[in-house]
Amino acid sequence: MSIFLIKKELKEVLEKLLEKDYSIDLDYFQPIAKLKKPIYFSDYSEKKLQEIAEKKGKITLEFWNFEYCSKENIFLEELDSVIQTLDYRVKDKLNYVEGLVTTLILIHQLLLNVYKINDRQDFQNYLESFKVPKKMIKNFLVNTDLKLPLTLNYLTLLKKVFDKDEILDFIFKEEESLNLNNFERLISHFKIEKIHQCAFLIFKFIKHNKERLEYIDVSLDYFHEMIGNITEEKIIFNKNNYDPHIGFFLISMPVDQEWRDLYYKVIKKYIDKGGQTNIEVLKDEKATLKLRERCLEIQEYFHQY
């Protein structure tokens, strides 16, 4: 099996599942092998690639098939991309090359089986028997952008390989496919402890303030600890030694009249979880004054309502 054949089948399976076209990276225009000269996809067949492998020719990563290829058939210049994708450091990569490429193929096979295996218990059993280290699977999922649909099997896989806040790296790396529904489905299954880091990522990747508030609102629902110490009178925020704080993001953001009620709904959740609205920006009186003005607006709002 090769990555190309797995991706081709994955595309077919997902298009049947989704009942629409599914875009996946299949490059038909680059050389797929080289013996004495480059071989292109127009001349592709598994039989031809096997002949090239037997003659010690080189086969590109996508078409390298562990059933008949060896490390001698790998373009070594492609190996760095494998190491980067799996984030796996080796001292002597030439001795690990075949194992690393095979691991990459097996992870692709795993993702195909996420959608091919329909019975949940069968998938659980398959997942338990899958021997690739979960760190490698996790690194692959974070470092690639396949935009796979969030099914129960896929969620089961994610719960197995990601711990607590690690899921945030996975959620926000797929910025284009990020939506509030999937965000809530994912974090509802993980114990989010780094609420400040979560807020930082929301404000980094979500561009519109109303949408940011919706994500913060959901995040607070699944954050089951206190945000701050109830005895602290204020927060000192140092912009030069940047340490994210959800309170700074909320208190400093502009508020539009259209979603004003949503803003104060989120602020109430933040305060109820021990969040402090009295925030001082170190060595920046102008920024601190703006935050104090907002703090007074918050107090006035809750006094009225």
Q: Structural domain of residue 273, as residue ranges?
A: 168-305
Q: How many domains does the chain have?
A: 2
- The mean pLDDT value for 99-110 works out to 93
- The pLDDT assigned to 90 comes to 64
Which structure tokens are listed for 96?
Answer: 């690990």
Mean pLDDT lowest for which of 82-91, 116-125, 255-264?
82-91
- The mean pLDDT value for 228-243 works out to 75
Do 209 and 112 share a domain, yes or no? Answer: no
- The mean pLDDT value for 67-91 works out to 83
Do 56 and 197 share a domain, yes or no? Answer: no
- The pLDDT assigned to 198 comes to 94
Do 173 and 154 share a domain, yes or no? Answer: no
Do 192 and 140 share a domain, yes or no? Answer: no
Do 126 and 213 share a domain, yes or no? Answer: no
- The pLDDT assigned to 98 comes to 85
Do 157 and 175 share a domain, yes or no? Answer: no
- pLDDT for 21-45, tens place per residue? 988 877 778 889 998 899 999 889 9
Do 145 and 269 share a domain, yes or no? Answer: no
- The mean pLDDT value for 89-99 works out to 72
Of the three residues 104, 128, 161, the one that is the final residue of a domain is: 161
Do 176 and 263 share a domain, yes or no? Answer: yes
Of the three residues 127, 161, 195, the one that is the final residue of a domain is: 161
Do 99 and 13 share a domain, yes or no? Answer: yes
Q: Given pLDDT bands bounded at 50, 70 and 90, which one contains residue 269?
A: very high
Q: Greater confidence, 182 or 122?
A: 122
Please say if the pLDDT value at position 13 is more than 70.
yes
Do 21 and 121 share a domain, yes or no? Answer: yes
Of the three residues 161, 194, 209, the one that is the final residue of a domain is: 161
Do 226 and 211 share a domain, yes or no? Answer: yes
Do 261 and 300 share a domain, yes or no? Answer: yes
Q: Given pLDDT bands bounded at 50, 70 and 90, which one contains residue 175?
A: low
